[in-house]
Structure 1
Amino acid sequence: MQTTYNGLSLPADGQPIEYSNGQFSVPDHPIIPFIEGDGTGRDIWKASQRVFDAAVEKAYGGKRSIKWFEIFAGEKAYKQFNNWLPDDSVNAARDLRISIKGPLTTPVGGGIRSLNVALRQILDLYSCVRPVKYYQGVPSPVKHPEKLDIVLFRENTEDVYSGVEFKQGSEDAARLIAFLNDDLLSKTKKKVRTDSGVGIKPISIFGTKRLVRYAIKQAIALGRKTVTLVHKGNIQKFTEGAFREWGYEVAVEEFREQTVTEFESWILGNLEANPGLTVEQNAALVEPGLEFGSEDFRKALYAQVQGVLDSIGTTHGNGAWKSKILVNDRIADSIFQQIIIRPSDYSILATSNLNGDYISDAAAAQVGGLGIAPGANIGDGYAVFEATHGTAPKYADKDVINPGSVILSGVMLLDFIGWKEAARLVETSLEKTIVQKFVTYDFERQTQGATKVGTSEFATRIIRNM
């Protein structure tokens, strides 16, 4: 490990977080890198760091402390090092393992496409984790925002974010289109228009299974009762549809004792309601209109029903399945309305990359928006916690923006390293401050009788409420 990064020495009174055999080892005074962020990130980070330090001091009375270490990315890095993402910043995030960041600008023009995506791919942070729940007093556009309490696990390295695309009119695009049209599609009626830009959407067994595996492990750890695989497999059968199938394989093959699939629950529930059901009768209840299917289809379904009864009838039958984690799946476009009209039905969502991007922001809107939406990017041995909103440069250095996203991302970080007492102090004190109606302008304009405060004053009131 280096002793300096970007010319700055590590804090002498702190120790690095270690990782071995799948477990983090957190010292009492861990060195945690931070990127303050661009635009409003400067105001937000200053306020958030004060809140974190106050909570840790209050919870542990000096026995524990975080030794913050600044690393650089975005505009500040470019101004100082002529590099949007210096190697030393990446090295520090890798060596010190757990870090936190504010919002970063995506450079316009050539070069790196997204600093956030770059960090995820370099450190292989394959799971984007976005908890979405309501805090009392936050203005919301829906009647019952408190009914939504989900954690979304979004695959972070594949899909259209893999960066494999070719510009319209380029030689590479022309070669790829010619190969598709003249070779792979030559015996079909499908053609790619020659004036197209072309992108590749890879979804792998490896990437899918490790994401779903992590989601189910977290469902077990958090005591969550459902895991929903979100996909567009009705249209994209070999990518999104494969995500669904591989996800179910993880549940059944690796977490058999703890899980039941929705299909299995129907079969076991039917038999529980009517112990005299034959396999054929059970299949007819699972698949209405079965009599209109082909004989081969009926036989295949009978075999599936019998297979479920043979494999888990003893362990999961007689109501035992009701205490298991239910693994189901929903089409991506359907889940948008489902989390509005039936939010209580969902708890953990596991999604492919693009779907997760859309859904996480839409869900956040129900509980107050991105200004108060935390997030984390987690891999094996590494984690970067981050604001989920943009940089809002027109509000930079004006001390007006809501720091809630970074503050709640810090709550996630504190929980992640096992400092739960400090995490709860931050979370409950933030909620209490909002209930008292001392809020930044984004909430004040939607809250009757509220007092508008700046970024720094909001943080000060959170600290007072500890």
Structure 2
Amino acid sequence: MFQKIKPPEGGEFIKVEGGKLVVPPNPIVPYIEGDGIGPEVVNAARKMVDAAVETSYKGERKIVWWKVYAGIEAEPIYGTLLPEDTLNAIKTARVALKGPMTTPIGSGWRSVNVALRQLLDLYANIRPVKYIKGIPAPHKYADKVDIIIFRENTEDVYAGIEWKYDSPEAAKIREFLKKEFNIQLREDSGIGLKPISRFATRRIMRAALNWAIEYNRKRVTVMHKGNIMKYTEGYFKIWAFELAKEEFGDKVVFEEELQGGEVPEGKILVNDRIADNMFNQIITRPWDYDVIVTPNLNGDYLSDAAAALVGGLGIAPGANVGDNIGMFEPIHGSAPKYAGKNVANPTATALSAAIMLDYIGWHEAADLLRKGIEETIASHKVTQDIARHLGIEPLSTTEFTEEVIKNIKRLGT
């Protein structure tokens, strides 16, 4: 199965039985260091995870890490940015931790991040946004932000169906549209397609509602621009509501049914918001939003904007989840200008790893990891991206990691 890597000794693979993960006490977890600051933040996060697991389970559980390759590091080894070895490793192990990857703008390769999500069918991009005490957030209501964004991961413009403006294919499509539908496009128009399917919409809504039930969330809001894109984003809303009614009818109530009344006890409110209004409302009244379900592009925009409310991308974690498979990564980029300088903030990667621990059912370690990070930041022991706003001396990546581990061990005793 593997050409240039082999599973590490001393670990076992997570299995699936009866549609659920069966996690051994020593699961093998692949990790991709990524580009730019990736190696620094991923290795810092792994150390924090190891400390949280050791402290929580007193040596009875342990993650056995397995380095695999993607991005710039993979090319000299495999001749490709995304080798089959890596895809097979993640499929076999069921979970992976991943660092940020570089994506060229306007030319070069398509996003390795997007390719991984599509090839592994990681259809739910889950991005929690929550304020951490001690972060100098710019927003008046930062402490009231506690949002989970479920971004559909496989369709929309991210499907990558597009043609360069001067290509023969674009010319053929312009001619076809003119001849068959009397649609006239300028001759210098690049063309892209935006597919949104009932199948993909229903499964992202299902994932969001299951999350809301498991974690006792109160609202699920569908964000869309269906007033303009009626047959793509408009149907995203229609199909999402359809799924909620058909599969969760006894657990949800729709906003229009309430007519201004209170949500019944034990029910989850399902509503929708137009995309531009959604951006307005997460700023002016963030307490009204809990779980937000979006098409791919909307979710990308919204998650970065929401992260800004609580202090930026340096503390913003993410997860890409399919059916019994998950890849966990920060949502920030590779920041190549900071690579190798030991100044990067590993918080987002470590919080992504905490979601991974929750995903495999190791909730005690996940909670301890989060508490260790929160305690460290609250005491103003932070890296340069936060320290510059506080007017204090920053910690290096290594020093911040050591402080988090100290707090993990102290809090876990």
Scaled by the length of structure 1, the TM-score of the pair is 0.85
Indicate the SS of the match to 1:228: strand
- TM-superposed CA distance for 1:381, in Å, is 2.0
Following the alignment from structure 1 to structure 2, what is the Cα–Cα distance between the partners of residues 428 and 451? 23
- TM-superposed CA distance for 1:6, in Å, is 4.8
The residue aligned with 1:202 is 195
> Structure 1 residues 31-40 or 104-113, which shifts more?
104-113
- TM-superposed CA distance for 1:392, in Å, is 1.1
Following the alignment from structure 2 to structure 1, what is the Cα–Cα distance between the partners of residues 107 and 135? 40
- TM-superposed CA distance for 1:320, in Å, is 7.3
- Misfit runs of 4+, over 4 Å: 107-111
Q: How does 1:226-375 map to 2 (within 5 A)?
A: 226-266=219-259, 269=261, 321-375=264-318
Residue by residue over 1:263-309, the C-alpha shift from the partner in whole angstroms, topping out at 9 and shown as x without a partner, is 11118x4xxxxxxxxxxxxxxxxxxxxxxxxxxxxxxxxxxxxxxxx
Residue by residue over 1:414-463, the C-alpha shift from the partner in whole angstroms, topping out at 9 and shown as x without a partner, is 11111111111110111111111111001001114x34110011000001
Residue by residue over 1:72-119, the C-alpha shift from the partner in whole angstroms, topping out at 9 and shown as x without a partner, is 001111132222111111111111110010011225786640100000
Following the alignment from structure 1 to structure 2, what is the Cα–Cα distance between the partners of residues 149 and 160? 28
- TM-superposed CA distance for 1:169, in Å, is 1.6
Aligned length: 408
Indicate the SS of the match to 2:177: helix
The residue aligned with 2:404 is 462
Following the alignment from structure 1 to structure 2, what is the Cα–Cα distance between the partners of residues 108 and 333? 25
Q: 2:168 aligns with which of 166, 171, 195?
A: 171
Indicate the SS of the match to 1:445: helix
The residue aligned with 2:387 is 444
Following the alignment from structure 2 to structure 1, what is the Cα–Cα distance between the partners of residues 401 and 332? 18
Paired letter, 1:411: A
Q: Answer whether contact 1:104 1:116 (CA < 8 A) is retained.
A: yes
Q: Answer whether contact 2:129 2:316 (CA < 8 A) is retained.
A: yes
The residue aligned with 1:16 is 13
Q: Answer whether contact 2:253 2:263 (CA < 8 A) is retained.
A: no
Q: 1:105 aligns with which of 81, 102, 115?
A: 102
- TM-superposed CA distance for 1:403, in Å, is 0.5
Paired letter, 2:209: I
Indicate the SS of the match to 1:63: coil
Paired letter, 2:220: V
Indicate the SS of the match to 2:235: helix
The residue aligned with 2:329 is 386
Following the alignment from structure 1 to structure 2, what is the Cα–Cα distance between the partners of residues 143 and 19? 45
The residue aligned with 1:159 is 156
Indicate the SS of the match to 1:9: coil
Q: Answer whether contact 1:77 1:84 (CA < 8 A) is retained.
A: yes
The residue aligned with 2:411 is none
Q: Which runs of 5+ in 1 are unaligned?
A: 270-318
Q: Answer whether contact 1:124 1:157 (CA < 8 A) is retained.
A: yes
- TM-superposed CA distance for 1:384, in Å, is 0.4
The residue aligned with 2:369 is 426
Following the alignment from structure 2 to structure 1, what is the Cα–Cα distance between the partners of residues 285 and 402? 37
Following the alignment from structure 2 to structure 1, what is the Cα–Cα distance between the partners of residues 321 and 6? 26
Q: Answer whether contact 2:263 2:269 (CA < 8 A) is retained.
A: no
Q: 1:224 aligns with which of 217, 225, 231?
A: 217
Q: Answer whether contact 2:5 2:85 (CA < 8 A) is retained.
A: no
Following the alignment from structure 2 to structure 1, what is the Cα–Cα distance between the partners of residues 263 and 316? 36
Q: Answer whether contact 1:145 1:367 (CA < 8 A) is retained.
A: yes
Indicate the SS of the match to 1:465: helix
User: Aligned Cα RMSD in Å?
Assistant: 1.5
Following the alignment from structure 2 to structure 1, what is the Cα–Cα distance between the partners of residues 308 and 68? 31
Q: Answer whether contact 1:230 1:350 (CA < 8 A) is retained.
A: yes
Indicate the SS of the match to 1:335: helix
Indicate the SS of the match to 1:264: helix
Paired letter, 1:193: R
Following the alignment from structure 2 to structure 1, what is the Cα–Cα distance between the partners of residues 272 and 141? 24
The residue aligned with 1:60 is 57
Following the alignment from structure 2 to structure 1, what is the Cα–Cα distance between the partners of residues 342 and 364? 29
The residue aligned with 1:71 is 68
Following the alignment from structure 1 to structure 2, what is the Cα–Cα distance between the partners of residues 109 and 353? 19
Paired letter, 1:458: F
Following the alignment from structure 1 to structure 2, what is the Cα–Cα distance between the partners of residues 109 and 248? 36
Q: 1:87 aligns with which of 80, 84, 89?
A: 84
The residue aligned with 1:28 is 25
Following the alignment from structure 1 to structure 2, what is the Cα–Cα distance between the partners of residues 431 and 95? 33
Q: Answer whether contact 2:314 2:345 (CA < 8 A) is retained.
A: yes
Identical-residue share of aligned pairs (%): 50
Structure of larger gyration radius: 1
The residue aligned with 1:304 is none
Residue by residue over 1:103-161, the C-alpha shift from the partner in whole angstroms, topping out at 9 and shown as x without a partner, is 11225786640100000010011110000000100111112201110100000000001
- TM-superposed CA distance for 1:170, in Å, is 1.2
- TM-superposed CA distance for 1:20, in Å, is 3.1
Following the alignment from structure 1 to structure 2, what is the Cα–Cα distance between the partners of residues 257 and 50? 44
Paired letter, 1:400: V
Following the alignment from structure 2 to structure 1, what is the Cα–Cα distance between the partners of residues 76 and 102? 13
Q: Answer whether contact 1:6 1:71 (CA < 8 A) is retained.
A: no
Q: Answer whether contact 1:265 1:321 (CA < 8 A) is retained.
A: no
- TM-superposed CA distance for 1:322, in Å, is 4.7
Indicate the SS of the match to 2:271: strand
CA 1:108–1:241: 2 relative to 1, 3 Å: closer
